[in-house]
Each structure stands twice: as structure tokens, then as C-alpha cells.
Chains A and B, each alone.
Chain A
Amino acid sequence: MTSAPLIELRNISKRFGGVRALDDVSLSLDGARIHCLAGENGSGKSTLIKVVSGVYQPDEGEIFIDGQKVDRLDPVTSIAHGVQVIYQDFSLFPTLSVVENLTLNTFLREGKTRIDWTRARKMAREVLARLDVSLDLDATVETLPAAGRQIVAIARAMLADARLIIMDEPTTTLTGREVERLFRIVRDLQADGIATLFVSHKMREMLEISERLTVFRNGKKVTEGPISEFDERAITRAMTGRDLHQGRFVAPNLAGRKPRLELRNVSVGDKARDINLTLMPGEIVGLSGLIGAGRKAIAQAIFGLRQDMSGEMLVDGVPVTPKSVPEAIAAGLAYVPEDRLSEGLFLTRSIRDNAIVSSMERFAPHLWLDAEKAGAETRKMFAEMAISAPGIDVPVGTLSGGNAQRVMIGRWLMTQARVLILNGPTVGVDVGSKEQIHGIIQELTRKSDLAVLMISDDLPELAANCNRVLCITEGRIMGELSGETLTEEALDSALSREIEGETA
């Protein structure tokens, strides 16, 4: 490229309290290129997006747009320079129509006070035609599926004369076919001269779509280069900072043991069908699959969060059909949800309250809460989980992701759960803590004869921590990997087959 890059960041640093979210990062984005920003959660990707979009002001460093230094990049300036961010939640207005969601910010930018509905519809039709998709212009956005909402968000960015569209984890809620359509759209955008910055932690997407790759870890840029210089293993190593095939989990001898959890011909609504699954004590079994493949529905059904499960379920040989979470807990089941902040923790409450919430019957059999006993058991768990905090009375919101997750897992230790379902056990946990949490899970499983069902998108995590992994496609178990066959490559190719199968 001879011309100046569209956006160039030089030596950017950003701190939040004591945490360095970005540490001396330089990044250059060229016009009409598809660039991928990779990194695990908490690696500084989101902070970088917010710096480029002007939401955050960096503590140090310089920003150049079209070769010109920008002193203070705020959201308005950023948008004026053609930077558009599509957040994971799309930032759309659910109760407003498609046409309005598409055109509101254009009118806003033009400083209009009135809305010209005729022009709005024309603009909306044109931009959707450019994307080669058809949507009901008058439908409210809340009625659209996730993929449709994403299209609205992309079309809106195009209408805003975007030169760079930043997409934050754009494929998390899409099916294989929808991902293909997204990729086609991104290439069309490129043909129109619009650059895309993909922010992702999924390898296949990066390799398939991007031309250039930057990898972040712990707020630092670890590596950068044309995509041809990378393969999956190299990306993983850069992202996680560790080699593949570290220690791996081997289940103890299972001979003669009775299964902890059995699912026989279980179906969950239209999300999962004919699931047969046996979990032995001391086993960690992984569930691999795309988002929407039915993994979460299975987990939620087991845990009594869904009412549409059919088939037979046995815990330690006893048939159970939990209709509610308390029933599931009583049956010895436990579930660590994916979204710790909204589904898991009570941030302003103490570690103790968060820990005892699910085992309160034991501490308060007759309403009266035995604070001594609750405190003592919490402290025992606190020590066992090696939580680093000033004490059990501090609010969970003050803990790091790793420590907060330990409180989550510790909660189920206190219910004396026998089957533990982990959904994304280390999402949003920093790399160091991640390995420790893996260690804790493995040790607990061995020591307390737990049976663990681990749902994860993180293939190395599954490969390293599970003695078996089941591959779920469109609500069915399509394969099982274990022992020597359980490698990250094998998991990956199983997923790829699924995508091909869908798009075929």
C-alpha cells in the first residue's frame, strides 16, 4: 500500500485501575481489507474496539486517521471518519421497525429534524438490495432472528458511509449457513471499498475470511501478519500462550462403577433429539458443537430449567425428571452457566451469600440461618478453591473473573453435587487463572467422584480436560472422540464437517 493506512494506532496504552487493558499496542488498518483481531476473552480486544470507536480515550499513544493525527477521538469524530462498530448485542431498537433502525442515524447525522419516510424506505430498500437480502421493512426488529438483526446492523453501518466496519464476535449467534452469508456480505463490502475488522476467537473464521491477522494476549499484541503465515496451531499458541497437548485428563479406572448420570432417548423440544449419554463418576465429558446445536438446551433441561424434555434421565441409577432447579439440585445436579454475570452471580452480595445460596436448606432448615455453620463451610470452600480475596464478606463484584468463577464452582461444591455441568467454564477468565481452574475441576472430579459435563467453544480446553468429547450437530450426538483420537485437530475437523454439512 502506498497511501496512508485508514487508521493507525501507535503505542496505545489504556489502564483501568490497576489493570493494563492495553499495553503499548500498535495497529494499522488499511482501507478495503479484511483484518482479523484474535484473542481470548479479556485479552484487550474489546478495549481496542472502544479506543478505535472513540468510546475510550487512551492513556498513552497516538491515533492517525488517513495519515492525519487525531488529538482526541470521540464517538462523533470516529463515526465522521467512517468507523462503524457492530456490537455483539447489535445496539438496535427492538420495538422500532427495520426501516427506522436502518435510517435513524443517517437522518441524525445529517442533522435532520423531520423524517422523510419515503426517502427512508428508498434508502432501506437500496441498501438491502446491495446486500442482496430481503427483509420486511415494516417488521419490528424484535421479531427478527439474530441473523436478520445482524444484517440490519450491517446495513445501517453501510448507510452511515462506513469505511471500516468493526464486527465484535459476529458469528456467535449464527448457524453455519448464516455464517457463510455473512462472509459473502463481508467480501461484497470489500469490493465496495469497505474494510472490515473481525474480532473473534474462532480459528476457522479467521482462516477463512481474513487477509491479515493480529493476535492479542493480556493486553499486548503478540503477533501479526498475513493470514497465509498462520495455521490453526500457530493461532492457538499465540492466543493462549501455551502449547497444545499440554497435560491431558485421564479418567480413573471406571470398571465396575455405576453411572452417575444417564440420559436415555432424551429429546428437548426441537433443540435436541435422541440423546443417549452415560457419565461415570470421575469422568469429564465434553460437549462440542456450534452455538445453537442444542448443547445449552440439553444442559438446561438436565438442570430443570426447561419444561420440554422427554425421555429418561437417571442419576446414580434413580430416575429423575426435574421440573425446577431446586428439584435438580436435590437430585445432585449442578450447573455453572455461561454468562456468569447475568445468570450466575449476585455481584453486590458477599462471597458467603453467593456460595450458600444453593445449599441454604442445610444452613436454614427452619427459616433460621445458622450463620456460624454457613460461614465455616464457606471458609472451607474458600480454602479448597484457593480463592484469593480479603475474606468471605467481600462483594463478589470486586473479584477477578477467575476468582468469581471459583465462587460459582464452589457454590456447587457446597450442595454436594454429584453431576456438575459447566457451560464455558473459563469464559472471561485470564490465562493464568484458566489453568488453575482446569486443575481444580480435574482434581475435584478425581477426588469427589464427580461426573462433569463440560460445554465449551474452546477446543484446546476440551482436548486437555475431557477424557471423552461428544460432538453435537443440530441436536444430535454425531460422534465421540476419546483417548488417542481426542485431539484438537479431530475436534476441529468434526466441527468443520458440520459446517459443510449445513451449507451443502
Chain B
Amino acid sequence: MRFLRSSDAIILAILAVAMIFIGLVNPAFWQMSNLFSLLKENVVIGIMALGVLLVMISGGIDVSFTAFAVAGMYLTVRAMVALDYNGLVLPFMSAILIGGLLGLMNAGIIHRFKMIPLIVTLGTASVVRGLVLGFVGTSNVNINKMPDALVEFGKTDLFTLERANGSTYGLTAMIVIYLGLALVLHLVLKHTMIGRSVYAYGADPEAAKRVGFSTGRTMIFVYVTAGALAGFAGLLHSSMIWLANPRDFVGLELDVIAAVVLGGASIFGGRGTVLGTVLGVFILVMIQNSLILMGIDTTWQRIVVGAMLIAAVTVTALRDRRALV
């Protein structure tokens, strides 16, 4: 009963309506190959969105995660190329570590200088992108140079189906990683003290301190996790597209933030769920990718995303205003 009144249920309903609508306009939407490719598109944005969700629940906003993703991805891949290393575990750990350390920097600056997260993360994003492009390099690592292990890993499918013409398509196994991470984050947020401390801090930092939460530790958890997720997503992305581009993800911040807001998280903190975010990401990706199916020119994509974001925040603003009266 309670679920039906939650914002997650509303988002789910919107998603269902949108899917039915798109399917009516063009039944090709329901083809398995289309759905599989949609799910694949969800993975990287989704993992990043989990980090953004965490930051948003804590009452902040993060625009540095794409830069961290680039750092995690490009530094790791370049190191692999330079060392001629061809493994999986170590590179992913390295990407996570790079992202996490950069996140620690965010946490340190935000907590110590009590500065608005938006401004801080704008700064750190600039620093990190500048460092990567300025010191490490500006050229892509293409498929011919990409470590085989990464490429092979990105190709992993859960299962494959055959089209009528004999070509095959599959559901990427990366979706399992994404949903696994989402589940873990959900459990952490719901059932651990550190998870609840994020909500508490986002709801009222002063009250959180009075109750006895260590707010510094909460901030570190939030930003390190967000950074680590970004670093991981970055490397996963290059493994899925067989390319490491140090200029990647520019402008993606906005899409990811839009997805998280669409998923019902509040920019004022204390509100937001993993389920909502996963649904928000799916809606965003689905609509972005279905414009062609619906016969709309792709140049309209940004207008649609922007309009969706505005609509979502308008609804939230109206809801919050009603709650205040």
C-alpha cells in the first residue's frame, strides 16, 4: 500500500505509460534487440547515477564525476598499454582507486572549507580534466591498442539470440554488474548506519551532528563512493566501446543529474532511492534512444531531455510546496 503512494511508484507508472506510448507509435520498440541495446545503454550512465544519487541524498550536487571517470579510465588504460598488461581485476581496482582518491579530495574540500559542493566539484572537475589532458595525453587509445582483456570483457553477453537473417545479438552481462551495484547500494543505504547517516546529513546536517553522527566520515563515504563508482564506470565504458577517449563524457553530467532528479531524488537532500534512480536512468535512456523510433529527428534529443528535466523538477517543486503548507 505504502509503495503505491511513494514517488517510486509514480515513476514506475510514468515509465509504463511512456513504454506503451512509444510501443504504439512504433512497435519495433518491443523487439528484443532494441530492448537489449537499451539495457546496455543504461549500464554506464546508471552506475554514475548511483554515485550522483548518493551525493544528492547528502544534500550536495556533483559535476566532477565525469572527469573522475575519464581519469580512472584513461590513466588505467594508458598504464596497461605502457606496461603491456592484460588483466582485468587489477585495472578495475586501479580505476576504482583513482576515482575514490579523487572523491576523497572532493570530500576533504567540501567538509573542511564548508563550500557549496557545486562550486567545489566544478573546480575539481577542471583540475582533473586539465591534469589528464595536459600531462597524460590527448590521443585516443583505439581498438587496435586496447588491451584484449578489456575488450573481451566488454563483449561478454549473458545470452545471445538469433535474428531471422542469422545475425546474433545478446544481452550484455554488464547489466548484471550494474544491477548488482545498485542492489548493494540499496542495501547499504537502507540497512547500515553509514547509509542512514547520508540521509540524516542530507535532511539536517546540524541535527545529524547533534545526534552524534560523524559528519566528516559521512562526507568521505559519500564522495569516495561516488568517485569510485565513476572511476569504475569510466573503465567499464571503455571496455564496452573498445576505446579510451580522454575527452569522453563531456556534458554527460547533465544527463546523469537529470536522470537522478527524474528518479525522485531531491536536490535539497534527505530524499531519494536507488530504485527511483534506476527507473529514472531507464526513462532518460529510453526516451533519448526512442526518438528515432518515433520518427523524431535526433537534433531534438537535447530539447526533450531538458524539457523532461524541467517537468520533473516542476512536479517535485509543486509537491514540496504542498508538503510545506
Contacts and interface: CB of A to CB of B under 8 A. Distances in A.
Complex: A in contact with B (CB within 8 Å): yes
Interface in A46-103: 75-76, 79, 87, 91-96, 100
Interface stretch (B65-73, B139-147, B186-194): B186-194
Nearest to A107: B193
B200 A93 contact: yes
Contacts of A113: 192-194
B155 interface: no
- Of A76, A108, A109, most buried by chain B (CB within 10 Å of CB) is A108
A105 B203 contact: no
B206 A94 contact: no
Interface string A117-146: 100000000000000000000100011000
Contacts of A143: 323
Interface string B205-222: 011101111000000000
A92 B196 CA distance: 13
Contacts of B208: 93
Contacts of A499: none
Nearest to B323: A142
Contacts of A142: 323
Q: How large is the interface on B (under 10, 10 to 19, 20 to 34, 35 or more residues)?
A: 20 to 34
A15 interface: no
A96 B270 contact: yes
B211 A104 contact: yes
A112 B208 CA distance: 16
A114 interface: yes
Given A91-B206, A96-B199, A108-B212, A138 B2 contact: yes
B204 interface: yes
A96 B191 contact: no
A115 interface: yes
A220 to B, nearest CB: 28
Nearest to A103: B196
Nearest to B210: A91
B211 A108 contact: yes
A100 B212 contact: no
B237 interface: no
B212 A96 contact: no
Given A96-B200, A96-B270, A104-B200, A91 B211 contact: yes
Interface residues of A, number: 24
Nearest to A115: B191
B193 A105 contact: no
Contacts of B193: 104, 107-108, 112-115
A87 B206 CA distance: 12
A115 B196 contact: yes
A410 B171 CA distance: 72
Interface in B50-92: none
B167 to A, nearest CB: 48
A107 to B, nearest CB: 6
A135 B249 CA distance: 48
Contact of A95 (B2, B192, B199, B206): B199
Given A112-B193, A115-B192, A138-B2, A105 B206 contact: no
A95 B205 CA distance: 12
B196 A75 contact: no
A92 B207 CA distance: 6
A114 B207 contact: no
Interface in A413-458: none
B67 to A, nearest CB: 30
A105 B196 contact: no
B204 A108 contact: no
Contacts of B129: none
B212 A94 contact: no
A96 B208 CA distance: 12
A91 B210 CA distance: 7
A105 B211 CA distance: 6
Contacts of B206: 91
B40 interface: no
Interface in A314-368: none
A138 B5 CA distance: 13
Interface of B: 2, 190-194, 196, 199-200, 202-204, 206-208, 210-213, 266, 269-271, 323
9 contacts: A76-B212, A93-B199, A93-B204, A94-B270, A96-B199, A105-B212, A109-B212, A112-B193, A114-B191
Interface of A: 75-76, 79, 87, 91-96, 100, 104-105, 107-109, 112-115, 117, 138, 142-143
